[in-house]
Amino acid sequence: MNPIEKNTAIIRSAAARLGFEYCGIAKAQRLDEDARRLESWLSKGMQGSMQYMENHFELRIDPTKLVPGARSVITLLLNYFPDAHQQEEAPKISKYAYGRDYHEVIRSKLQSMLAFIQSEIGEVHGRGFVDSAPVLERAWAQRAGLGWIGRNGNLINKQHGSFFFIATLIVDLELQYDDPFAKDYCGTCRRCIDACPTNAILDNKVVDGSRCISYFTIELKEKLIPEEMQGKFDGWMFGCDTCQDVCPWNRFSHATSEQEFSPIPELLHFSIEEWATLTEDTFKKIFRHSPLKRSKFQGIQRNLHFIKALPQKEAPGK
């Protein structure tokens, strides 16, 4: 086994030991085609008020701007599909937010993985990223052979669907590279397009972020949600899984083995009345390690009032 094969085997073994279900590797290079798509998406204002999407454009499309001398982009998938679900009639919460904040969980795993690589291989420089830095994770996952970009904009893995977190580790180490995933298995299926409550999914594999329920319930920092969206949220209070729930490929999803993603009991069992009477102190205590803290207590209450069709001015803190 030559050094490149040996180092690649070390990395794949470390990924599996840390609980990542898939590990794909692509050669670090500028993403010219993806740059054009991103530029077009931004020019149409589909980022809404997410101005951070407009920043660091060059960093998003060129891994060597993030890690000088970058040779390889390692993409890792971590399953988050839960083994339990919310009670009926409860305000809906996206499955990715059932347990501990994935940023905390995956960041720790990436740090451990890089430290292990350095201890086993030697002086390797690299950086790990998980949804909080200018990296086009889905593009790299496709290039690393892990799946295709579906019509709903999600990475879809042929074996296990799309309920995965995507993590990226960029290193200045040459490795064996996987073949890009070349086929699109969405075919003529339009289930996600037809099911989207706000018509945010367009025909050409483009998602209008400014119309997505996840945008309104998580990213939008305004005190009020546009009235034109009233009655279109289908009960979603934080995020939205509709396009994934209807995807035929997610019939292959299986429950995660990551204990950190075990559902918070209150999240599963709270009724809409219990959410409505929740105090800010209790919210902070229960959800201190949850992705829900991103919307903050005031945001959750705003969303709750909106899906209950109550006057938004009545929401606490407004």
pLDDT band at 194 (very low <50, low <70, confident <90, very high): very high
Of 118, 139, 171, the domain-final residue: 171
Assess whether 48 and 83 both reside in one domain. Answer: yes
Q: 42-46, 66-70, 152-156 — which is least confidently predicted?
A: 42-46
Output the six-digit token pair for 198. Answer: 């706000």
Domain match, 207 and 118 both? no
Check pLDDT > 60 for residue 47. no
Boundary residue ending a domain (123, 143, 171): 171
What's the total number of domains in the chain?
A: 2
pLDDT of residue 1: 79
* 208 pLDDT above the threshold of 80: yes
Q: What is the pLDDT of residues 98-115, one digit of tens each?
A: 999 999 999 999 999 999
Q: Are residues 116 and 199 in the same domain?
A: no
* HEC letters along 34-93: HHHHHHHHHHCCCCCCCHHHHCCHHHHHCHHHCCCCCCEEEEEEEECCCCCCCCCCCCEE
Segment (H or E) for 27: strand 22-27
Active site residues: 131
The 10s digit of each residue's pLDDT in 264-283 is: 999 999 999 999 999 999 99
Q: Tell me, what DSSP letter sits at residue 158?
A: T
Confidence of residue 310 (pLDDT cuts 50, 70, 90): low
Q: Clarify whether residues 13 and 157 are in a common domain.
A: yes
Which has the minimum average pLDDT: 135-139, 298-302, 307-311?
Answer: 307-311
Better-predicted residue by pLDDT, 205 or 90: 90
Q: Does 209 lie in the same domain as 292?
A: yes
Domain housing 208: 191-246+265-314
> Can you tell me the mean pLDDT for 35-60?
56
pLDDT at 118 over 90: yes
| pLDDT > 70 fraction of the chain, expressed in percent and rounded | 87
Do 102 and 166 lie in one domain? The reply is: yes
49 and 127 co-located in one domain? yes
Where b means 16+ CB within 10 Å and e means fewer, 153-181 reads bbbbbeebbbbbbbbbbbbbbebebbeeb
- Give the residue, 316 or 89, on which the prediction is more confident: 89
The pLDDT tens digits of the residues spanning 222-265 come to 888 999 999 999 999 999 999 999 999 999 999 999 999 999 99
Q: How would residue 219 be classed by pLDDT, with cut points 50, 70 and 90?
A: confident
48 pLDDT tier (thresholds 50, 70, 90): low
Q: How many CA atoms lie within 13 A of 7 on its CB side?
A: 21
pLDDT score recorded for residue 131: 79
The span from the CA of 288 to the CA of 234, in Å, is 26
Rounded CA-CA distance 249/187 in Å is 12
Q: In this structure, what DSSP letter does residue 21 have? A: S
pLDDT in tens, 49-90: 555 444 555 666 788 888 999 999 999 999 999 999 999 889
Distance CA 305, CA 318 (A): 11
On the question of pLDDT at 316 being above 50, the answer is: no
Residue 207's pLDDT is 87
What is the model's pLDDT at position 308? 83
H or E segment at 105? helix 102-121
Instruction: Report helix, strand and coil shares of the chain as percent, to nearest 5.
Output: 40, 10, 45
Residues 6+ apart with CB under 8 A from 35: 57, 60, 61
Phi, psi of 57 (to 5 degrees): -55, -45
Residues written for the chain: 318
The terminus-to-terminus CA distance of the chain in angstroms comes to 64
Q: What angle do CA 70, 73, 75 make, to 5 degrees?
A: 160
